[in-house]
């Protein structure tokens, strides 16, 4: 109400700024923001640290990293360490614990993971149009995948670069420990924790990749979910579905709304909602009875029947506004005011 900036952190509510920040982003362990004077700061473990004054132009936050850009220099905050990745960089992408980036000065394509920078491709092999992020380079969580100068399809995983296809793939998507892709011969495959699984000799009608999970509509009409090395055939039909991090929301054969989590299916409702907030281990939606409901870590919760002004979901923390600037939190089965 006083326009002050607060952070909810593991049950505690902390006031960290007297004025609204210019921008902020929420990670699992930290909140990074530009304060009202555009100073770049990071909140973590109950304390605020000023990183620099008026220099940061771009920043991102993930589970374990904070990446920030000052002019064309990029750095990451990894735990208590600030690591300079490149003094001149125009292309980069970050996951929960991995960064892929192109260093202009060195003319190298590199990966960062667990405190180490690994050179993946050298200037001798790079063409100007190589490494187009979101097209030939994709990153998620702890893994990156890319098509190199020689049209090899490679993954960067556990600080190692491995060619898993000798020819460029037609399409690929990435998630934790996992890459789903269609190879040059239209075969649908999944790379998971160092192994390549052949899913179908034909490309799927659709597929989505999450953390250790791939949901797809196969070419022969079956809806299937690959999870942690196991394949689950849900049924012969084409449902609406969404994959985000560790969860899959989908409609079953009878029209019921279900969640797939850690190999188990949970019935949520008798219809599939148009709108939901979904991510990490959780999903939240408002049902037809105007009840805010939440699925989290395999459990269903009825949160409130009060009229909502807004809601958001960050790392299993559900924030919802029920009155004039009256914010409430629900996390791990507990309510917080």
Q: How remote is the C-alpha of 117 from its chain's centroid?
A: 22
Classify residue 332: in a domain, yes or no: yes
Residue 128 pLDDT > 70: no
pLDDT at 123: 66
| Distance in angstroms (rounded) separating the CA atoms of residues 321 and 330 | 12
| Distance in angstroms (rounded) separating the CA atoms of residues 151 and 160 | 18
Classify residue 170: in a domain, yes or no: no
Q: Which residue is it, tokens 């304390």?
A: 47
Pick from 243, 235, 239: which is nearest to 257 by CA? 239
Classify residue 107: in a domain, yes or no: no
Contact assessment for residue 328 and residue 337, using Cβ atoms and an 8 Å cutoff: yes
Contact assessment for residue 308 and residue 320, using Cβ atoms and an 8 Å cutoff: yes
Classify residue 316: in a domain, yes or no: yes
**Of 16-20, 124-128, 276-280, 332-336, which gets the smallest average pLDDT?**
124-128
- Structure token digits, residue 320: 């919802």
In the chain, what percentage of residues exceed pLDDT 70? 98
For 39, 169, 179, the CA distances from 155, given in Å and listed in that order, are: 36, 12, 8
Classify residue 322: in a domain, yes or no: yes
Task: Please write the tens of the pLDDT for every residue from 232-277.
Answer: 999 999 999 999 999 999 999 999 999 999 999 999 999 999 999 9
pLDDT at 122: 83
Classify residue 334: in a domain, yes or no: yes
Contact assessment for residue 165 and residue 152, using Cβ atoms and an 8 Å cutoff: yes
How would residue 204 be classed by pLDDT, with cut points 50, 70 and 90? very high
SS (H, E, C) 223-243: EEEEECCEEEEEEECCCCEEE
Q: What share of the chain is helix, strand, coil (3-state, %, to 5)?
A: 0, 60, 40
More confident residue, 29 or 249: 249
| Distance in angstroms (rounded) separating the CA atoms of residues 142 and 129 | 25
pLDDT at 308: 86
189-195, long-range: CB < 8 A, 24+ apart: 190/214, 190/226, 191/145, 191/155, 191/164, 192/226, 192/228, 192/229, 193/229, 194/157, 195/229
Q: How far apart are the first and last CA of the chain?
A: 15
In the chain, what percentage of residues exceed pLDDT 90? 82
Query: What does R_g of the chain's alpha carbons equal in angstroms?
Result: 22
pTM of the model: 0.90
| Distance in angstroms (rounded) separating the CA atoms of residues 175 and 138 | 10
Task: Please write the tens of the pLDDT for every residue from 48-104.
Answer: 999 998 789 899 999 999 999 998 899 999 998 999 999 999 889 999 999 999 998
Domain assignment of residue 301, given as a range: 264-337
| Distance in angstroms (rounded) separating the CA atoms of residues 72 and 18 | 31
Please give the tally of structural domains in the chain: 1
pLDDT at 242: 98
Pick from 243, 254, 323: which is nearest to 283 by CA? 243
pLDDT at 10: 84
For 174, 176, 297, the CA distances from 225, given in Å and listed in that order, are: 15, 15, 18
Torsion angle in degrees (nearest 10) through CA of 213, 59, 6, 332: 10
Classify residue 291: in a domain, yes or no: yes
Classify residue 297: in a domain, yes or no: yes
Give me the CATH number covering residue 293: 2.40.10
């Amino acid at each position: 109400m006083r326009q002050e900036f607060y952070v909810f952190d593991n049950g505690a509510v902390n006031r960290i700024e007297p004025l609204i920040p210019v921008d902020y982003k929420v990670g699992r362990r930290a909140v990074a923001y530009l304060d009202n004077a555009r100073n770049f700061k990071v909140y973590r473990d109950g304390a605020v640290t000023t990183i620099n004054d008026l220099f940061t132009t771009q920043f991102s936050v993930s589970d374990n990293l904070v990446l920030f850009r000052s002019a064309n220099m990029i750095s990451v905050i990894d735990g208590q360490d600030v690591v300079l990745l490149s003094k001149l960089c125009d292309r980069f992408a970050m996951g929960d614990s991995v960064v892929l980036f192109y260093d202009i000065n060195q003319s190298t394509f590199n990966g960062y993971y667990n405190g180490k920078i690994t050179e993946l491709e050298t200037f001798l092999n790079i063409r100007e149009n190589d490494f187009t992020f979101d097209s030939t380079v994709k990153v998620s969580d702890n893994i990156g995948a890319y098509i190199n100068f020689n049209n090899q399809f490679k993954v960067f995983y556990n600080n190692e670069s491995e060619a898993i296809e000798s020819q460029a793939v037609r399409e690929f998507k990435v998630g934790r420990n996992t890459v789903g892709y269609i190879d040059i011969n239209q075969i649908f495959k999944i790379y998971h924790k160092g192994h390549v699984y052949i899913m179908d000799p034909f490309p799927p009608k659709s597929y989505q990749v999450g953390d250790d999970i791939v949901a797809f509509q196969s070419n022969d009409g079956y809806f299937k979910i690959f999870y942690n090395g196991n394949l689950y055939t849900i049924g012969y039909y084409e449902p609406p579905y969404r994959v985000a991090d560790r969860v899959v929301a989908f409609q079953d054969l009878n029209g019921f709304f279900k969640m797939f989590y850690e190999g188990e299916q949970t019935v949520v409702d008798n219809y599939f909602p148009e709108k939901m907030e979904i991510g990490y281990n959780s999903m939240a939606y408002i049902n037809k009875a105007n009840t805010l409901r939440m699925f989290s870590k395999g459990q269903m919760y009825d949160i409130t029947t009060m009229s909502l002004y807004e809601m958001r979901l960050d790392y299993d923390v559900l924030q919802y506004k029920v009155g004039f600037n009256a914010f409430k939190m629900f996390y791990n089965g507990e309510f917080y005011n």
